[in-house]
Each structure stands twice: as structure tokens, then as C-alpha cells.
């Protein structure tokens, strides 16, 4: 497919700010989304492992990880909207074509996601006393994880299909016969998909180290439970990290011909270095993990490593479409829209910052309190401020909309 055709498929309205900002935000929000997905998968598996164990420590861990998985899947869904929006802005000829070619799966994606989400909550509803009574109806959690992984596989296929415009016509009209039903996923890369799924193991290991440090800060800290957690967290981190690196290496070695150059590029070593440093950090810290905030450092560094991995993935996509198909995502026509840009940034920086800060502070303090928790007057005022900012944002959003509509 010629570059002229690809450029003709672009939105003639252009973009409201410079495309590089969308590429950066796309990589950043994808990393945040992937972190939530990987925590959800890892804690879901830990829940399955521990829910039916006779070991009280495993049951306690399963009960806590079930709550984590429940929250993580909600975070993953909310944040997952952002990278999809950013990719469709600067890669719209590719993303929309891929969606049309597999339209049945794009629509079915929503229903599969809803079913997986509901199945997780059914398991949660049936296991309020998981720590003391053990697990019930584990098939609901198995179903949930399978469906949610299936959702990830659909997005994986759609993302890969957009990188092969030379195959679009053959997929749409195989043998010259048009098949417009969109019932097939045409391209997948198991090693690539396996790499991102395997990352859930080291990410969950890093999460467990943070969870362990959090437990140490409680007034009623259980030293035996805390000691029991450490080898399991390190095992997930080290073994899972090495597995992910192995799958990543196999992915690089089997890249399609037009992407083969990337396997020997410096970008791969940057991503590899970020992952290996994350795995090595808790081993290097030793007993320092139990001091201050060092117990949380591994997960923080892991989040940075995920950002690096997603940025490197974006480099691969950008140069593949530019080098093989002559499409430059950065030469999109720009029609600056300062209002929408400022509103977007203020929403994240102020509304999002205040609201998220309030919720995280409440969760932190409540988790460190034995018995009934009551927030301080200052924290209560912060909660009222977050609600007030949301009301102001809503009024401003619709007010400007009605003003533009009326004029």
C-alpha cells in the first residue's frame, strides 16, 4: 500500500496539538494500564493458589490479593481508554482499518470484558470470608482470568494487524472474494503476547514486596507472615523476570523481516537493562528492604521499567510504519486547540492529582490503622475539595459546550 493512500486515510481535521505529545502520552498511559493489568493477573493467580490452601498464610494472602485484583481490573479498564484514544489520533489509518477487518471482535471485546469483570465480582461476592473459610466457586475466578486474558489477546491482534498494511487487501478479499463480516483475527504473535503476560510475574513480585513493607508498618504486624512473604515475592520477581526476558529475546529473534533491524538496536538493550535492574534491586538492597520506603522502591522502579518498555515498543511501531510504509506520524497537520489542551492537562494535574491523592491517603492511613479509622479534618477537607473540583469541571465542560453550540 502506497504512502499516498495511507495519508489519504488520515483525518483531514488534523490534530489539536503536536503529535509527539500524543506519542509520549500514549506510551505513558499504556505503561500505567499494563501495570494494572499485570497486577490484576498476578494477584488473581495468587488468589487461586492460596484460596484452597490449608496454610493460613496462603489464605490470608489470597484474601488480600483478591481485593487487590478487584481494584486493579477497574483501574486497568479506566486507564486503558487513554492509550486507545492516543493511538487512534496519530495512527488512525492503521488502527481503524485493523478494527474494520476484525469488527466482530472489536464489538465482542466489550461483551467479553464485561463478562470477565462480572465473573471476578461473582467470585469476590462468594468469598467474603476467604481467609477463615477458604475458597468457594473457584471456577468463576478461572473464567474471569481467562476472559480478561482473551480481551488482551484481541487488542494484541488488532495492534499487530495495523502494522501490516501490505496484507490488508488479502485479509479483506482472500482469493479475490470480499469477506466484509470482520469475523477473523488475522495476525497474532504469541511470543510478543507471552512477553507482556509473563511480565505479570515480576510485576506482582515487586507488588508483593511493597505489600510486605506495608504490612510491616501496621501496629499489629505479624513477623512470621512478613518473613513468609519475602521468598515468595523474590521468587516471582526473579524467576518471572528471567522468563519475561527469555520470551522477549525470542520475540526479538523472530521478528518479521521488516522489523528485524530492531533486534540489534540500542533500544532493545535499554529495555533489557531497565528490566534487569528492577529484578536485581531487591537482591542488592538486602535488609535495607525493611527500612523506610525502600520496600516500595522495587515496584516504583518496575513502573519506570514498564514505561521504558512501552516507549521502546512505540519506537518499534513508529519506525516500522515510517521505514517500511513511508508514514510519518509526526508530520500530522497541527491546528492548535489551546482550550482542549489546557483542560486536559489541568484535569490530570489538578482534578486527578487532588482526587487520587485523597483516595490514596485514605487507603494508606486506613490500612495502617487497627480498628475503626477516622480521617483527620485536613484530609476530610481534601475530600470535599476533590468533589468541588469535579463539580466545577463538569459545569465548565458543559458550559463551554453549550456556549459553542449556541454560537
For 100-138, the DSSP string reads HHTHHHHHHHHHHHHHHHHHHHHHHHTTTTHHHH----H
Please tell me the predicted confidence (pLDDT) of residue 372. Answer: 87
Kindly report, residue by residue over 341-380, the tens digit of the pLDDT: 888 888 888 888 899 899 889 988 988 888 888 889 999 9
- Residue 395: what pLDDT? 92
C-alpha cell at 328: 510519518
Query: What's the confidence (pLDDT) of residue 104?
Result: 95
What is the reported pLDDT for 346? 87
Model confidence pLDDT, tens digit, residues 25-61:
999 999 999 999 999 999 999 999 999 999 999 999 9
CA–chain centroid gap for 234, Å, is 22
Indicate whether 195 pLDDT > 90: yes
In the chain, DSSP finds a helix count (H) and a strand count (E) of: 16, 0
Q: What is the pLDDT at residue 337?
A: 87
pLDDT at 175: 86
- The tens digit of pLDDT for each residue in 99-155 reads 999 999 999 999 999 999 999 999 999 998 898 888 889 999 999 999 999 999 999
pLDDT level of residue 400 (50, 70, 90 thresholds): confident
98, pLDDT greater than 90: yes
Q: At residue 1, does pLDDT exceed 80? A: no
Residue 404 has pLDDT above 90, yes or no: no
pLDDT of residue 351: 87
Phi/psi for 29 (5° steps) reads -70, -30
Q: What is the pTM of this model?
A: 0.93
Distance of CA 139 to the CA centre of its chain: 25
In the chain, domain spans: 3-336, 338-407
Summarised one tens digit per residue, pLDDT across range 305-340 is 999 999 999 999 999 999 999 999 999 989 888 888
pLDDT tens-digit series, residues 279-295: 999 999 998 999 989 99
Cell of residue 111, nine digits:
461483551
- Residues 6+ positions from 105 with CB-CB distance below 8 Å: 154, 157, 158, 182, 183, 185
Mean pLDDT of the region 271-281? 96
- What is the pLDDT, as a whole number, of residue 268? 95
pLDDT attached to residue 4: 87
Cβ-based neighbours of 35, under 8 Å, separated by 6 or more? 203, 302, 303, 306
Rounded distance between C-alpha atoms, residue 233 and residue 225, angstroms = 12
Distance, C-alpha 7 to centroid of its chain: 30
Mean pLDDT calculated for residue range 230-244: 96
What is the pLDDT, as a whole number, of residue 271?
96
Distance CA 292, CA 210 (A): 11
- Which pLDDT tens digit goes with each residue over 148-177? 999 999 999 999 999 999 999 999 999 888
Amino acid at each position: 500500500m502506497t504512502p499516498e493512500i495511507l495519508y489519504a486515510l488520515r483525518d483531514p481535521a488534523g490534530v489539536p496539538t503536536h503529535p509527539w505529545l500524543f506519542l509520549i502520552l500514549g506510551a505513558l498511559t499504556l505503561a500505567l494500564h499494563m501495570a494494572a493489568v499485570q497486577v490484576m493477573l498476578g494477584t488473581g493467580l495468587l488468589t487461586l493458589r492460596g484460596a484452597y490452601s490449608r496454610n493460613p498464610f496462603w489464605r490470608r494472602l489470597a484474601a488480600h490479593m483478591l481485593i487487590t485484583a478487584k481494584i486493579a481490573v477497574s483501574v486497568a479498564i479506566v486507564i486503558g481508554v487513554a492509550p486507545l484514544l492516543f493511538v487512534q489520533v496519530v495512527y488512525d489509518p492503521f488502527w481503524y482499518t485493523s478494527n474494520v477487518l476484525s469488527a466482530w471482535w472489536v464489538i465482542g471485546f466489550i461483551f467479553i470484558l464485561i463478562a470477565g469483570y462480572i465473573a471476578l465480582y461473582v467470585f469476590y461476592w462468594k468469598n467474603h470470608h476467604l481467609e477463615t473459610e477458604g475458597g468457594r466457586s473457584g471456577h468463576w475466578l478461572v473464567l474471569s482470568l481467562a476472559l480478561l486474558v482473551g480481551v488482551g489477546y484481541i487488542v494484541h491482534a488488532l495492534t499487530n494487524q495495523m502494522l501490516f498494511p501490505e496484507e490488508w487487501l488479502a485479509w479483506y478479499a482472500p482469493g479475490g472474494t470480499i469477506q466484509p463480516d470482520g469475523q477473523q483475527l488475522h495476525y497474532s504473535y504469541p511470543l510478543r503476547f507471552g512477553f507482556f503476560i509473563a511480565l505479570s510475574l515480576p510485576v506482582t513480585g515487586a507488588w508483593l514486596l511493597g505489600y510486605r513493607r506495608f504490612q510491616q508498618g501496621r501496629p499489629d504486624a505479624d513477623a512470621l507472615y512478613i518473613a513468609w512473604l519475602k521468598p515468595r515475592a523474590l521468587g516471582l520477581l526473579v524467576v518471572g523476570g528471567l522468563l519475561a526476558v527469555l520470551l522477549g529475546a525470542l520475540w526479538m529473534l523472530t521478528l518479521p523481516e521488516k522489523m528485524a533491524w530492531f533486534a540489534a538496536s540500542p533500544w532493545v538493550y535499554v529495555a533489557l537493562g531497565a528490566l534487569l535492574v528492577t529484578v536485581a534491586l531487591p537482591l542488592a538492597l538486602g535488609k535495607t528492604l525493611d527500612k523506610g520506603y525502600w520496600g516500595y522502591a522495587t515496584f516504583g522502579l518496575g513502573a519506570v521499567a514498564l514505561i521504558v518498555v512501552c516507549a521502546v515498543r512505540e519506537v518499534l511501531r513508529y519506525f516500522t510504519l515510517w521505514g517500511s510504509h513511508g508514514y510519518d506520524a509526526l508530520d500530522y497537520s497541527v491546528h492548535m486547540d489551546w482550550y482542549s489542551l489546557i483542560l486536559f492537562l489541568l484535569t490530570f494535574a489538578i482534578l486527578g492529582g487532588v482526587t487520587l491523592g485523597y483516595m490514596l491517603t485514605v487507603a494508606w492511613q486506613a490500612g495502617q490503622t487497627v480498628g475503626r479509622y477516622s480521617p483527620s479534618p485536613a484530609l476530610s477537607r481534601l475530600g470535599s475539595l476533590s468533589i468541588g473540583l469535579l463539580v466545577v469541571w463538569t459545569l465548565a465542560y458543559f458550559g463551554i459546550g453549550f456556549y459553542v453550540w449556541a454560537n
